Structure 1
């Protein structure tokens, strides 16, 4: 079994432990629940499947059952909070605590680089600007950004991306992008991307007043749709995004960094009975 410090999903850890015990003994879900101090013989199964959560007392019981102490115990408590927190602020706090504990234990948190990259608008913008401005120092790159960012932040972003393999320093001292893709745990990636989308959505609102109409494109449509139409519209938007990426991939004369937001969201609750046959 891997250390708990290698996990970003407490349910996966609990499931992996069950699978490991099952391979080496006649271990049942009843045995698992009993080991953790629960009366219900299927409670641990329900937790692993996401059908039940761990409350504060239950979290302590499970931590005791696994003999977690010190940093492992702290990490497990934050791991549970990260998965079950109802707000992104609490999730961010728990993830930061997990990362701090992992670093102190000299453990690389899987997906930490992806989380850091997508958690701030600065990184993707710098990744585009640094190669497009050969010879530029961080202060000059920062000066090209519409939204405020310091030279120190740009410098740290470049250093981080070089370490992460997203940018590489060329022989002439400039930077170029690599083809490396960042991946991580589904929960942490989802949290970081939501943070990125919030920042970019705010920038989109600001752009309406900041830029002239010929420097931006803002349009929208309010529409009533069925579930089937919704799915078709989403597919159209996905294809549109792919076509845009293809255009960008064939463009070798970058002189500006833009952001494209594709947004489709409800303005009302669903109408009950609207799908019934008439």
Structure 2
């Protein structure tokens, strides 16, 4: 009879993997509170919140944060609408070209970001659209749609169609059925998809580099800071903020969709 508990070696390997993945992040967290303004003085000389006040007093930091939040919110809203409509159209009925459409919906998240960025930039240049705020939103929405689509179609597949039929039999029209039956069932999937899409958009840099033009989102600001070693403490503070803003929605989405791993298309 096999034990359900993992062996000591397997546990050690799992913890070792976690430490390997998260040790660089812990370093950034630690030096965000360091009293020294040197790049990395080990061990840290003390604990201070001074660099937080310095970071949030800088206009360039606040402008980059505001821009990234605006882009993430708009891209997430677009993705939630388009991803939900696409999932509703594809989850149940079979028709010619369905698999091809599904592949095209999922492809942006599978392609390397540099390929997506070059393709979007070429398309915008061909159409005579100058890179800027609008092009960043469109670029982010292309891969955010996939996240929402995967979550919503998984929930559709777990929702019994008999509920919809019962609603229609009781006299509800299409809008009432959607509002009182379908939408409540999709609630947590929509929320999880939206949170994941927001997190991905907020810290996206590769596609943004090609579509930003003169705009400077927070990840681009961080990239530019690598050439300024005297600003390392402020950079660590902003990097920690980015990690917190993206980590919390991802954790929330995980708990909202937990238990759906066995559903094809769950996007987990």
Same-fold call, TM cutoff 0.5: no
Q: Which has the higher contact order (CA 8 A, sep 6+)?
A: 2
More helix by share: 2
